[in-house]
Structure 1
Amino acid sequence: MNYNDSYINLLIQRCLDRTATAEERKVLMRVLKYTDNEQIEAKIVAAFQQTQVRLEPSDSVWTAIEKQVAQEVPVKPIHKSSAVLQFVKYAAAVLLFLMIPLYFFRDALPPAITELKLVREVNDIFKDKTPDASSEEFAEEIELLLSQDRRVNLLGSDSAVLANAEKSIRISHSDNQISYTLQDSTTWLMPSATVYHTIKVPYGKRFSVRLIDGTTVLLNSGTELRYPINTQQQDMDLYLTGEAYFDVAKLQNRKFNVHVLGNRLKREHIVQVLGTQFNIRAFRSDKQNVTTLYEGAIQVSGLASTPVRLEPSKQITVDQHYAIATADLQMSSAWRNNVFYFRNIPVDEVCLELERWYGIKVIYNKSKENKKVLAQISRNKSLIEVLDMLAQTNDIKYDFRGKEVILTD
């Protein structure tokens, strides 16, 4: 594959001033990826480092790529035939994608990302784009608040102290779950005062808690749950903000209550169960809270003069009022199946879902009415792949501006 210098110069200039055709862009990508000519490589890199060029999303992308290459590659001379040289080319190719508005490369981006297997590297780049480092939702750790205001990062080495952290209670910790059991299985707990723990799961993470009574709770990203650890057969009161799936242990003559907080748009209420499986979606930023029942029976108090009962495959939606309807079980369980499931969902709600999973800020600049999205996409895909699919199938443009992803009609 031989191209003269003048043609390479022309391709670079057309890409920079955004007049290149799709074929010309592909040619430049092939040149960058496969050439053994160090002068051509240097020319392309230098062109995209010019100070007069408006880099997108920002100059920090180049720094992030350089750091990533430095981590993967020891500092030593690079021979043309080495696998290291190929990695550098691939990283440079991704850099080229990132520095030109992404929608210009929509026809080539997904194959490149898949082929280069740089999902992790791309995600590392976007770690720098968290809008507020002090926000709990955008934190890097899964935090567990113990009694006496002690704190443990469940992703850190200090989680080893959990086993004997609470009297009479054994806490077991694996990568994605903590479990509570009695230190002595032959005795029953008779607590004089209820001891609570609180777990905070940031954006981009999920976690599971197995309570002392055998109930399992799967927590979605951006979720906080406060729960008792020393009540075994007594009534249990839990407090949820975010989204969680409950598989409640069946115990006779006790109440299991999930308190769902309210605000000026949504009424506070309590989901009461005996033993059942259900999902509660109650993020602060959502306009409505939704409880979906899979099996068993629940009742919701605080909404009417008497508790409102719910049957399996039904859901109750709560704002200032409430409504009961047949549930879309595929939609309510999609997050547990590691899928984005958008069925005529407004784009601004799609933005919130992407924020919670990828830990970035997404803004929707709508022109008129809020566009509805219809899509089903694996959560294993990188942010860029998801954005590219949404753009192709739902006529949505996207761009990166500083620390934000901007979606437009």
Structure 2
Amino acid sequence: MEEQTRLLFIRFLNHQCSTAEEQQVNQLLEDPDMMAYLHQLMDEQDAQAAQQTALHNDVAAAKMESWQQQINERIADGSAAVPLMRRISWLRYAAVFTGFVLLAGVAWLFTGPQAADNRELAQQTDILPGGHKATLTLANGSIISLEDAKSGAIATEDGMRIEKTKDGNILYSVAKGNTQQARTTNTIATPKGGQYQVTLPDGTKAWLNAASSLSYPLHFDAKERRVKMTGEAYFEVTKNKTRPFIVETDQQEIQVLGTHFNVNAYPDEGMVKTTLVEGSVRVRARNGQSALLKPGQQAILNRDIQVKEADIAQQLAWKNGDFIFRGETLESVLRQVSRWYDIEVEYPHQLGNMRFNGMVSRTQPLSTIIEMIQSTKKATATLKGRRLIVTD
């Protein structure tokens, strides 16, 4: 990486760029490799900040304890209504209002006295991000809450042992002494605010995004391995040349032999996006159209299938723990936010086309998204209960 680019990105992260330099950075970030490099620099800055913070932990802890004691005293004597305080480490995001071209920073430090107002955001008006949540519906109709289930064997069905691993994933394996081959189906489903990983009976791994589902047989057919899905899922398919793996959605089928790919098939998105990371897949629409994808390509099915080069980093951001927005409309941003934070959203039609570029960690609370929207100076975001209201 050229030193000049590195220095430019560091200036950008430190809010030292001129308008011309900001435009240059914005152009560079169209390249997924540049976005990955920027993410690397952000991680390096996080590590440096953590080291510096460690040197002052005792002082910071003493101050926080003192502040909290003062707050508790004021609440006890009724002299003031003081919001509870919380500490936020690094808040990493960028927001660009394109069309009016307003660029905000990619990394904001939410520690130190200069960010006291942000640090004092009331807990009761914030919403935590989604997490490891899903239900597993067995063939007999039993429903298991995977969030509540303990690690270890959670069920045995049709000759298969179903296990929840220590890291919270679901794994299928053949039960000893049982070789049944009945056509039984399981379904794993995530709610809004949930995501989950499952290893299917053939060894294929699947990651489900929020508000998604995946149905699959416990014993695949001798000629094919067919599953059905809704929402969004990422697959790493175990290779088997004699039994193709087929992913079925409402509008299409995807046939693969062994590969890595992402499918976004939310009904409210208005289109289905299939993004190929490695290997090859054939996408076949219900209307008979089909397309063969190469690594790095994406098939977009609306009425017809269109194939274009994919932004892999953006399409897989959810799986890697981030939101990445590149020219994303506010309407699209809020749909993703609604699914991940399990909230309702409300906004006027005229704001729906406001566009954002940038990155937000999915581990951050909803206040991060609110700050991103308000940093545009073109919209105001207010949280009322579990409803996010955006106004101009």
Shorter chain as normaliser: what TM range? 0.5 to 0.7
SS at match of 1:384: helix
Contact 1:375–1:390 (CA under 8 A) maintained in structure 2 = no
1:240 is the counterpart of 2:253:
no
CA deviation string 1:215-267 (max 9, x = no partner): 10011111111111122754121111111111111012112111111xxxxxx
Does structure 1 retain, via aligned residues, the 8 Å contact 2:274–2:300? yes
2:268 maps to what in 1? 285
Distance 1:140-1:251 versus aligned 2 partners, 3 A rule? closer
Instruction: Tell me which amino acid in the other structure corresponds to 2:343.
Output: I
Which residue does the alignment assign to 2:214?
225
**C-alpha separation in 1, matches of 2:116 and 2:218:** 47
1:290-301 map, 5 Å: 290-301=273-284
Check the 8 A contact 1:276/1:296 in 2, yes or no. yes
- TM-score, reference length from structure 1: 0.65
| Counterpart residue number, 2:373 | 390
Residue pairs, 1:304-383, within 5 angstroms: 304-305=287-288, 307-367=290-350, 370-383=353-366
Q: 2:285 aligns with which of 299, 302, 310?
A: 302
TM-superposition CA deviations, 1:355-400 (whole Å, max 9, x none): 1111112222244662011121111211112321332147431112
- CA spacing shift, 1:385–1:365, aligned 2, 3 Å: same
Q: CA separation of 1:170/1:347 partners in 2, compared to 1, >3 Å: closer, same or farther? A: same
Query: Secondary structure, in 3 states, of the residue corresponding to 1:385?
Result: helix
Per the alignment, do residues 340 and 236 of structure 1 end up closer, same or farther by CA in structure 2, a change over 3 Å counting?
A: same
Cα distance change of structure 1 residues 369 and 336 upon mapping to structure 2, 3 Å threshold: closer
Contact 2:194 2:340 in 1 (8 A): yes
Where does residue 271 of structure 1 map in the other structure?
254
- The question of whether the paired residues in 2 share the 8 Å contact of 1:270 and 1:300 is answered with yes
Identity among equivalent positions (%) equals 26
Which of the numbers 372, 376, 382 marks the counterpart of 1:399? 382
Q: CA deviation at 1:41?
A: 2.4
Q: Paired residue for 1:122?
A: 123
RMSD between aligned residues: 4.0
- Shift of the 397–157 alpha-carbon distance from structure 1 to 2, 3 Å rule, reads same
Secondary structure, counterpart of 2:282 in structure 1: strand
- Is the 8 Å Cα contact of residues 260 and 276 (structure 2) preserved in structure 1? yes
Report the secondary structure of 1:213's partner residue. coil
Q: 1:199 Cα deviation (Å)? A: 0.7
Instruction: Tell me the CA shift for residue 173 of structure 1.
Output: 0.6
Which residue of 1 is the match for residue 199 of structure 2? 210
Amino acid aligned to 2:234: Y
Contact 1:139 1:202 (8 Å CA) reproduced: no
Q: Which residue of 2 aligns with 1:258?
A: 247
Q: Distance in 1 between matches of 2:68 and 2:287?
A: 71
CA distance in 1: counterparts of 2:218 and 2:81, whole angstroms: 56
What secondary structure, in the 3-state scheme, does the structure 1 residue paired with 2:388 have?
strand
Q: Assess if the C-alpha contact under 8 Å between 2:296 and 2:310 holds in 1.
A: yes
Instruction: Go from structure 1 to structure 2 and tell me whether the alpha carbon gap of 1:194 and 1:373 turns closer, same or farther (over 3 Å shift).
Output: same
Structure 2 partner of 1:41: 74
2:44 alignment partner in structure 1: none
Structure of higher RCO (CA pairs closer than 8 Å, 6+ residues apart): 2
**For the residues of structure 2 that align with 1:316 and 1:197, how far apart are their CA atoms?**
28
- SS of the counterpart of 2:364? coil
Counterparts of 1:225 and 1:39, CA distance in 2: 48
Q: 2:293 touches 2:299 (CA, 8 Å); kept in 1?
A: yes
Structure number, greater radius of gyration: 1
| Secondary structure of the structure 1 residue equivalent to 2:254 | strand
Contact 2:158-2:180 within 8 A present in 1 as well: no
Provide the C-alpha distance between the structure 2 equivalents of 1:233 and 1:123, rounded to a whole number of angstroms: 54
What number of residue pairs does the alignment pair up?
308
Counterpart amino acid of residue 238 in structure 1: V
CA distance in 2, matches of 1:168, 1:38: 59
Q: Distance in 2 between matches of 1:326 and 1:154?
A: 37
**1:143 lines up with 2:97 in the alignment:** no
* Structure 2 length-normalised TM: 0.67
SS at match of 2:183: coil
- Give secondary structure in 2 for the equivalent of 1:162: strand
- Report SS of the residue matched to 1:147: coil
Amino acid corresponding to residue 356 of structure 2 in structure 1: V
Q: Which has the higher strand share?
A: 2
Distance in 1, matches of 2:289 and 2:301, equals 16
Residue 259 of structure 1 aligns with an amino acid whose one-letter code is E
| 1:93-108 correspondence runs (5 A) | none
> How do 1:43-62 residues align onto structure 2 when only pairs under 5 Å count?
48=81
Query: What amino acid does structure 2 have at the position aligned with 1:250?
Result: K
- Summarize the alignment of residues 48-197 of structure 1 with structure 2, pairs less than 5 Å apart: 48=81, 90=85, 110-111=110-111, 122=123, 126=127, 141-157=133-149, 162-163=154-155, 165-174=156-165, 175-184=167-176, 191=181, 193-197=182-186
Question: Aligned equivalents of 1:276 and 1:254: distance in 2?
Answer: 13
Q: Residue 198 of structure 1 corresponds to which residue in structure 2?
A: 187
